[in-house]
Structure 1
Amino acid sequence: MKWKCFMLAVVLLLETCAGNDLQAERKMAADFGMNIKKVYASQQLPNDKKQQSLKKAENIEESVQPAQTVTPSATEPATTEPSETEPAVTGPATTEPSATEPSVTEPATTEPAVTEPAKTATPPATRTPAPSEGAVTASPVPIPTEMVDLEPGRVAKLYFCGRGRHKVTVSWKKTANATSYLVYRKASGQEKYTLRAEVTAHKYLDKSLTFNKKYRYQVVAVNKTDGIRKAAGRTGTYNNRTIVQTDHQKYSYAEMSADIQKLQDKYHGIVHTSVIGKSEDGRNLYDVVIGNTKASKTLLVVANLHAREYMTSELCMDQIEYYLENYYTAREGGSWKKTFDKIAVHYVPMANPDGTTISQFGIKGIRSAALRKRLRKLKSGSTTIWKANARGVDLNRNYPVRFRKQGKRGPMGYSGPKACSESETRAIKKLTDQLRSQKTLRGVISYHAMGSIIFGGSGLGGTLQKNTDRLYYQSRRLTGYASAAGYHSSSGGDGNFLTYIHEVTKVPGITLEVGRYTCPGPAREYPSVWKCNKMVVIQAAKLFR
């Protein structure tokens, strides 16, 4: 009997386990079927409907409630644990010893309910459906970007600065978008340019020039940011020749004006020119400055106050070119650049251009018909020895110092009706006073002809006398010229430019009378004049720097 009860309990237990497994299998099948439906729907529907179908399937899945606790059916026998009293088992009779055990009653065995975590509804992931065969795929829309102009700007102009006879610096202003510059060169007589260098700075030093040759340069701006872009080239000519020609006698106003422009072109940055006024016949009065225009000291050189003394204009222009040519040359005590950086030299190379024109070409050289008419009435004879301006006034007696009316209108000796009556006098006085008011003027040199003598000053007193004597004796040593102490001027210094410098501006000054022969001086005399005077101004600048 005990054995039968035991077997019955085992059968009931197995059926209960089988029932639980069957429910689990049914749930797995249901889940699998749901997934099959979703996949099938996504394959059969068009793309837009696939999305809707998938979303519905996901919503259905999310609405499924967790599985409930499964209990045995009322029709199924409850699973119980056998009692300690073993049931009888059909078989051969076996006598088991009787054992009285306490009876233990256990509840019916059930499978615990599997509670799945609740699913939080989230929006479905964005899916990009694969394009169906034959479908047109839209190209991505480009994002607009700001256009950047990388085209290099063209060089506007080339500038040249000679450094002796075999070097030149070519420079230009920086251009937009340029990463470098190509520098080309060809000499006179050559057909093609050759590339000399590629530079990133906006200048180039050429060290391989031949003197007395003309060179043409071309500079091309380049941008290599993303490839190579080139601007149109800019060309310029450098004339590596002597500009001021001194092998002829009549160095004219027109020639001087042209030479001033050529010197500016050849020596850009170290020579500067301005017009300080006009002559009575409308010609320019030039102020040519060598060196640093912002220097704290200046030296003033004035030539050709007397018309027939135009060799002094030639001399001053020759000095200007000589000093510019050797501006960077290493010399004893350093280059002249060091001097010109500290003291700028102002030249007025032709203070009386109208009178010079009359002396060289006669009254017909005067532009104004009214002036020509008045000059012809003077009946002065030969105009070659003319000293006055186009109005018959001696400019070296027209300054506002001890002025007195002297002589009569004509080729020489007339002081003018009053001090500073002439435009040439006013222009030079204005420049002198301006330099003096700026407290930069350290000395004045006035060039005349002839006599090979030097005027200094006496009775000036103090520092003025001391500095005048320094300039005077230094210039005498350089030139070999004699003292002018025994020379007596008919004007007595009244209205004289040097007298104005000493007594009004209180600045050291000297006058040099060049040449030994007649005036105008012959061309053959110029070499000796040059030899005596080529170092006078630069040494004066060093004296006062």
Structure 2
Amino acid sequence: MEISVRRGDSIWAYSQLFQIPLRLLLDSNRSINPQALMQGQTVEIPGYVTRGYQIVPGDTIWRIASTAGVPQDSLLLLNPSIQVNSLRVGQMIGIPVRVTELVVQTVRPYDYGDMLEDLNRLAEIYPFIRRQSIGTSVMGKTIPEIRIGIGPKQVHTNASFHANEWITTPVLIRFLNEYLLALTNNGSIRGLEMNPLYETTTLSLVPMVNPDGVNLVVVGLPDEEPYRSNVLAINVGSSDFSGWKANIRGIDLNNQFPALWEREAARGPRTPAPRDYAGTEPLTEPESQAIANLTRNQNFNRVLAFHTQGRVIYWGFEGLEPSESEVIVNEFARVSGYQPIRYADSSAGFKDWFIQDWGRPGFTIEVGQGNNPIPLSQLEQIYQESLGILLASLYM
């Protein structure tokens, strides 16, 4: 929600009026000088939206504010051109409405368009989040990263490396929404105050690493060539892509990292396939390159990759994991009920590469149980189990 600065106003006064932490106001308005607000300047107020209201006979600013349950001064800030003593019947004004509920909902299989729509909505309401593109998919879809928090500890999470594991994306999007909601309402999640975590931790989220693959599974065959013909050929003519894990070129993105890649490539398919084909060499795909470049350019203290299924957490790689990994994974297990497993019978994964090259904690979290794609009916249980892990990743 945008308001217009009046002479003598201050960011601190807005924080008090709208009951928004000063830090969030400052981070929502990085381009302005809080020490020198200028009259008429626009300021973003996070955690609010504007609702239209039409003046009726007998209305006064005081009466409208009282009925709406908002401070009169907030109405004046939102409607700078209003004439307080001469309201016109039929005139439209804005009412500031504090957002107190989740705005993202998952009621159907979740595709790339759903994610963009939710991220756009969240960025509009919570302008203190930072959003950037870390690259594009084979078909040119932007791969967004969201950052929230200002702390020195950096935690990275990602989801949907694998196409038919798309259910992991709404898990991260809902957590983002719940976190933002708690911050702007001075609230908590499971009894944990969120604002101190914002100050100590920077959270990085890449909610959908494999957008082309997800859309193939959720939406169906693309119209564009040569992708349409190629995936049909790889899938032996079948239009059932429920078993598809790879990107649109038939390369498994989580078998693409230079961490014993040769071993994984040797035991997988030799040509593009719906799953497990590691490619001709490490990091050939733009999606895996995007995640690798992001990781190289940042200073992540730990990484969490969400996959399906099995309700387990893999946390080691070739004995290279640091001792703190076991402490962290035991807390993840405690809050989720998932089983920690040190080593998986696989290599060349993102968390493997992170452990190998950085010597820091990396985790592959396998949510849900059953056959991929995990049905939407499991989403609530998966979210509640994952919520404990995501919170622990911030406070540990």
Q: TM tier, shorter chain?
A: 0.7 to 0.9
CA RMSD of aligned residues (A): 3.8
Aligned mates of 1:299, 1:309 — CA distance in 2: 22
For 2:285, the aligned partner's letter is: E
Structure 1, unpaired ranges of 5+: 1-151, 154-158, 198-206, 210-214, 223-232
Partner residue of 1:290 out of 140, 148, 157: 148
Partner of 2:357: 504
Partner residue of 2:297 out of 414, 421, 434: 434
For 2:337, the aligned partner's letter is: G
Task: Return closer, same or farther for 1:339/1:169 CA change in 2, 3 Å cut-off.
Answer: closer
Provide TM-score, normalisation by structure 2. Answer: 0.76
Aligned mates of 2:62, 2:302 — CA distance in 1: 45
Partner residue of 1:478 out of 331, 335, 341: 335
Following superposition, the deviation at residue 368 of structure 1 comes to: 3.4
Partner of 1:124: none
Task: Return closer, same or farther for 1:535/1:374 CA change in 2, 3 Å cut-off.
Answer: same
Partner of 1:33: none
Partner of 1:14: none
Partner of 1:398: 256
Contact 1:394–1:413 (Cα < 8 Å) also in 2? yes
Contact 1:220–1:234 (Cα < 8 Å) also in 2? no
Could you say what secondary structure the match of 1:220 adopts?
A: coil
Q: Does residue 135 of structure 2 align to residue 277 of structure 1? A: yes
Q: Does residue 168 of structure 2 align to residue 323 of structure 1? A: no
Partner of 1:370: 226
Partner of 1:351: 209
Structure 2, unpaired ranges of 5+: 1-5, 8-13, 83-91
Task: Return closer, same or farther for 1:385/1:337 CA change in 2, 3 Å cut-off.
Answer: same
Provide TM-score, normalisation by structure 1. Answer: 0.56
Partner of 2:377: 524
Task: Return closer, same or farther for 1:217/1:533 CA change in 2, 3 Å cut-off.
Answer: farther
Could you say what secondary structure the match of 1:535 adopts?
A: helix
Contact 1:216–1:237 (Cα < 8 Å) also in 2? no
Contact 1:297–1:342 (Cα < 8 Å) also in 2? yes
Following superposition, the deviation at residue 186 of structure 1 comes to: 10
Contact 2:135–2:143 (Cα < 8 Å) also in 1? yes
Partner of 1:307: 163
Could you say what secondary structure the match of 1:254 adopts?
A: helix
Following superposition, the deviation at residue 340 of structure 1 comes to: 1.6
Asked which structure has the greater CA Rg, the reply is 1
Matches within 5 A, 1:158-237: 176-177=38-39, 188=51, 190-192=53-55, 195=61, 208=69, 218-220=78-80
Aligned mates of 1:186, 1:337 — CA distance in 2: 21
Matches within 5 A, 1:25-174: none
- Number of aligned residue pairs: 342
Could you say what secondary structure the match of 1:302 adopts?
A: strand
Contact 1:278–1:424 (Cα < 8 Å) also in 2? yes
Task: Return closer, same or farther for 1:335/1:219 CA change in 2, 3 Å cut-off.
Answer: farther
Partner of 1:132: none
Partner of 1:460: 319
Identity of aligned residues (%): 22
Contact 1:453–1:514 (Cα < 8 Å) also in 2? yes
Task: Return closer, same or farther for 1:376/1:247 CA change in 2, 3 Å cut-off.
Answer: closer
Following superposition, the deviation at residue 414 of structure 1 comes to: 0.6
Could you say what secondary structure the match of 2:275 adopts?
A: coil
Aligned mates of 2:358, 2:126 — CA distance in 1: 32
Following superposition, the deviation at residue 351 of structure 1 comes to: 0.5
For 2:138, the aligned partner's letter is: E
Q: Does residue 100 of structure 2 align to residue 243 of structure 1? A: no
Aligned mates of 2:76, 2:280 — CA distance in 1: 54
Task: Return closer, same or farther for 1:379/1:444 CA change in 2, 3 Å cut-off.
Answer: closer
Aligned mates of 2:199, 2:50 — CA distance in 1: 33
Contact 2:102–2:181 (Cα < 8 Å) also in 1? no
Task: Return closer, same or farther for 1:318/1:196 CA change in 2, 3 Å cut-off.
Answer: farther
Aligned mates of 1:392, 1:442 — CA distance in 2: 31
Could you say what secondary structure the match of 1:274 adopts?
A: strand
* CA shift digits 1:425-465 (9 cap, x unpaired): 000000111113xxxx211111000111111116536xx52
Aligned mates of 1:446, 1:460 — CA distance in 2: 19
For 1:446, the aligned partner's letter is: A
Task: Return closer, same or farther for 1:238/1:339 CA change in 2, 3 Å cut-off.
Answer: same
Partner residue of 1:335 out of 175, 193, 199: 193
For 1:322, the aligned partner's letter is: E
Partner of 1:540: 393
Aligned mates of 1:431, 1:287 — CA distance in 2: 9
Following superposition, the deviation at residue 194 of structure 1 comes to: 6.4
Aligned mates of 2:382, 2:297 — CA distance in 1: 31
Could you say what secondary structure the match of 2:80 adopts?
A: strand
* CA shift digits 1:243-277 (9 cap, x unpaired): 221233x11110110110111111121x1111110
Q: Which has the higher contact order (CA 8 A, sep 6+)?
A: 2
For 2:102, the aligned partner's letter is: T
For 2:386, the aligned partner's letter is: N
Contact 2:317–2:356 (Cα < 8 Å) also in 1? no
For 1:338, the aligned partner's letter is: P
Contact 2:110–2:170 (Cα < 8 Å) also in 1? yes
For 2:227, the aligned partner's letter is: L
Q: Does residue 275 of structure 2 align to residue 412 of structure 1? A: yes
Partner of 1:9: none
Contact 1:304–1:312 (Cα < 8 Å) also in 2? yes
Aligned mates of 1:236, 1:389 — CA distance in 2: 46
389-398 or 260-269, larger mean C-alpha shift: 260-269
Contact 1:216–1:235 (Cα < 8 Å) also in 2? no
Could you say what secondary structure the match of 1:268 adopts?
A: coil
Aligned mates of 1:279, 1:308 — CA distance in 2: 16
Aligned mates of 1:497, 1:334 — CA distance in 2: 30
Following superposition, the deviation at residue 388 of structure 1 comes to: 0.4
Aligned mates of 1:362, 1:352 — CA distance in 2: 15
Following superposition, the deviation at residue 422 of structure 1 comes to: 0.1
Task: Return closer, same or farther for 1:242/1:273 CA change in 2, 3 Å cut-off.
Answer: same
